[in-house]
Amino acid sequence: MRIVPHLLGVAITAALISTPVFAAELTGTLKKIKESGTITLGHRDASIPFSYIADASGKPVGYSHDIQLKIVDALKKDLDMPDLKVNYNLVTSQTRIPLVQNGTVDLECGSTTNNAERAQQVAFSVGIFEIGTRLLSKQGSEYKDFDDLKGKNVVTTAGTTSERILKSMNADKQMGMNIISAKDHGESFQMLESGRAVAFMMDDALLAGEMAKAKKPADWAVTGTAQSYEIYGCMMRKGDEPFKKAVDDAIKATFASGDINGIYSKWFTQPIPPKGLNLNFPMSDELKQLIANPSDQPAPEKKQ
C-alpha cells in the first residue's frame, strides 16, 4: 500500500506528540521505574509531622510524604504511567543513606538534612524545609539552653546531625554531658518523658511533633539557642541527573502552584493524626524564602 507523503508526516507528528517526555532517552532510575512499573519510596515511622506511621495500615503520612506523592504524580504523567505502583520501604536515620545508595529505595523524603558530608554519598533535591536544632525540656525547667546541660543526661537520635553537633559541643566545651543516642525520635522522647534525660536535642519542627503527641503536651517546651540551621531535601542516588531533574521540577511546580501552602497548613497549623493535636508551628521566613527561591544547596551549619 502506498502511503501519501503528507499523511505520513501527520502520522509521525502525532506519534511524537503522544510519546512520553522521557521515552527516547530513559536511563538510570527513570528507566528502572518504567521497566519495572514500580517506584520504591523510603519513609520514616516516627518523624512527626514529616513522615510517620499514624495507624494500623502501616502506610506513611506527613508533610514530606505529601511532597513525595506530588513527585510520584508528576512521574506518572511524564512517563505516561497512570498505573505506576508505589512500594514503601521503611528507613531509619542509620539505614536511609545505604538503602538509597544500593538501589533498595528510589526516593527518600523524610527529615533528612542536606549537608556536604551526605552530598558525597547521595544526591539531594531542592530543599523542602528549613529547621533550627534546639532543645525540648520540661515547661519551667532550669534546663532552657545548652549551657545549662553541663554534667547532665541529654538525649538525641542516633545517626542525626544533632548527635554530631552535641558530641562536638561536649568535647569542645568540656561540658561533661552524658549523651544518650536513641534509635529513633520516639525513643528519644520516651527517655526525656521518663526522666532519664533532662533535655532532647533535635530539629525544632520534629521536637514540636514529639511534644504534640505527649501525654500532656503543655508540660513541654521547645527552647534554647539554635545550634544550626538545616535544610531538608529528598534523597536520590548520585549521578542520575535526569531523575534528579524530574524530582526537582515536581517540587518546584508544587511550590509555584501554591499547593505547598495547603500541604504546610495541613501538617503544621491544623490537627494531625493520630491524636488530632495541632503543632501550631507557623511557616518561618526562612522556609518562605526557600519556597520562593528553590535551591539544592545546604544551609550553613550555624548562622552568625
The CATH number of whichever domain residue 201 belongs to comes to 3.40.190.10
**Would you give the distance in Å from CA 259 to the centre of its chain?**
17
What are 42's strand-pairing partners?
89, 108
| pLDDT tens for each residue of 46-101 | 899 999 999 999 999 999 999 999 999 999 999 999 999 999 999 999 999 999 99
Among 228, 249, 266, residue at a domain's last position: 228
d(CA 230, CA 115): 8
pLDDT band at 25 (very low <50, low <70, confident <90, very high): confident
pLDDT tens-digit map of 184-241: 999 999 999 999 999 999 999 999 999 888 889 899 999 999 999 999 999 999 999 9
Confidence of residue 301 (pLDDT cuts 50, 70, 90): low
Per-residue pLDDT at 275: 85
**Per-residue confidence (pLDDT) for residue 302, from 0 to 100:** 52
Distance (Å, whole) CA 22 – CA 80:
9
Instruction: Indicate whether 115 belongs to any domain.
Output: yes
4 within a domain of the structure (yes/no): no
Instruction: Please state the pTM of the whole predicted model.
Output: 0.83
20 pLDDT above the threshold of 60: no
The pLDDT of residue 144 is: 95
**Residue appearing with cell numbers 519542627:** 205
Residue 30 has pLDDT above 80, yes or no: yes
Q: Are residues 178 and 256 in the same domain?
A: no
Q: Report if residue 95 sits inside a domain.
A: yes
The mean pLDDT value for 255-260 works out to 98
Same domain for 64 and 187? no
94 shares its domain with 170: no
Q: How much is the average pLDDT of 152-170?
A: 95
Q: What is the arithmetic mean of pLDDT over 281-296?
A: 95
**What's the pLDDT score for residue 277?**
86
**Type of residue at 107:** L
- Same domain? For 123 and 237 the reply is yes
Query: Is residue 21 pLDDT above 80, yes or no?
Result: no
Residue 32 has pLDDT above 70, yes or no: yes
| pLDDT at 24 exceeding the cut of 70 | no
Q: Which of 26-30, 34-38, 133-137, 296-300 has the lowest mean pLDDT?
A: 296-300
76 and 220 housed in the same domain: no
- Mean pLDDT taken over the chain: 91
Tens digit of pLDDT for each residue in 240-255? 999 999 999 999 999 9
Check whether residue 94 and residue 169 sit in a common domain: no
The 3-state DSSP class for residue 60 equals: strand
Where are the strands (E) in the chain, listed by range?
38-43, 46-47, 51-53, 60-61, 85-90, 107-108, 123-124, 129-138, 153-157, 178-182, 199-203, 220-223, 229-232, 235-236, 271-272, 277-278
Question: What is the predicted pLDDT for the residue at 213?
Answer: 81
Residue 212 included in any domain: yes
Question: Do residue 30 and residue 150 come from a single domain?
Answer: no
All three cell numbers of 162, joined, read: 544533632
Count: domains in the chain: 2
Helices (H) and strands (E) in the chain, counts: 11, 16
Whether 298 maps to a domain, the answer reads no
Residue 242 shares a structural domain with residue 266: yes
What is the residue range of 81's domain? 25-128+233-292
Distances (CA, A) of 69 to 46, 135, 295: 18, 31, 20
CA 72 – CA 66 distance, rounded (Å):
10
Residue 299 lies in a domain: no
Query: Do both 31 and 97 map to the same domain?
Result: yes
Last-in-domain residue among 181, 204, 228: 228
Report the share of the chain in percent with pLDDT over 90. 82
Tell me, yes or no, whether 242 and 122 share the same domain: yes
pLDDT at 13 exceeding the cut of 50? no
Contact 172, 124 (CB under 8 A): no
Query: Are residues 36 and 94 part of one domain?
Result: yes
Indicate whether 62 and 109 sit together in one domain.
yes
Distance between CA atoms of 278 and 138, rounded to whole angstroms? 19
Residue that terminates a domain, selected from 203, 228, 253: 228
Evaluate whether residue 107 is within a structural domain. yes
C-alpha grid cell for residue 24?
A: 527516547
Helix, strand, coil content of the chain in percent (nearest 5): 40, 20, 40
Residue pair 92/159 in contact by the 8 Å Cβ criterion:
yes
Give the Å distances, CA to CA, from 196 to 43, 143, 200, 224, 268: 28, 14, 10, 19, 29
Q: Is residue 110 part of a domain?
A: yes
Is pLDDT of 14 > 90? no
